[in-house]
Amino acid sequence: MSDHELRVSKIRDGTVIDHVEGGQALNVLAILGIDGSEGLGVSVGMNVPSDRLGRKDLVKVEGRELSQSEVDVLSLIAPEATINIVREFEVVEKNRVTRPDRVAGVLSCPNRNCITNADEPVETRFEVVSDGVRCDYCSTVLRSDIADHIDV
Ligand code: CTP
Ligand code: ZN
């Protein structure tokens, strides 16, 4: 790749979340709980040209790897994403995200009357459906605003 094509610098150690649907980069940061106050090096590319997607977003986080529950939630907003683990400037691991069948303990239910929002020791549980995630307890479907209901 020539220099003028390289929009965001390479990183030494960390995670590159690539092939994120255009417009979702800030939601990726929300899912990872990153707002800059952690002091991690973070680069964000938005609407970068991509062979596969036309336009894509990407997020590079230095010095941080992702938990499985973070990857599960990422897959809901960025189903085409690739998670690249970088060590000493080399990509040592590359994984496509896969949509889980269910997510537990990572999203809050948008329904204020849901048992999971009462003061009860109930873990949230959602089934992943084609257009979003459905609460096991009240059947409310959370669609576009998943990133606003992250609980991790
Ligand atoms: N990357 C990085 N820092 C590194 C190595 C890679 O930021 N030290 C980034 C690249 O810029 C790219 C992603 O990590 O966005 C994946 O790198 P690589 O596998 O080398 O690129 P591609 O082969 O283009 O990836 P893919 O086949 O997944 O599109
Ligand atoms: Zn609910």
pLDDT at position 3 over 70: no
Residues 105 and 100: their CA atoms lie apart, in Å, by: 13
**pLDDT confidence bin for 95, thresholds 50/70/90:** very high
**Cα of 113 to ligand 2 centre, how many Å?**
8
| pTM of model > 0.80 | yes
User: All domains of the chain, ordered by start, with CATH?
Assistant: 3-96 (3.30.70.140), 102-149 (2.30.30.20)
Assess whether pLDDT exceeds 80 at residue 6: no
String of DSSP letters for 39-81: ---EEEEEEEEETTTEEEEEEEEET----HHHHHHHHHH-TT-
The mean pLDDT of the chain is 91
Query: Is residue 41 predicted with pLDDT exceeding 80?
Result: yes
CA of 31 to the centre of ligand 2 (A): 20
Instruction: Name the pLDDT band for 61 (thresholds 50, 70, 90).
Output: very high
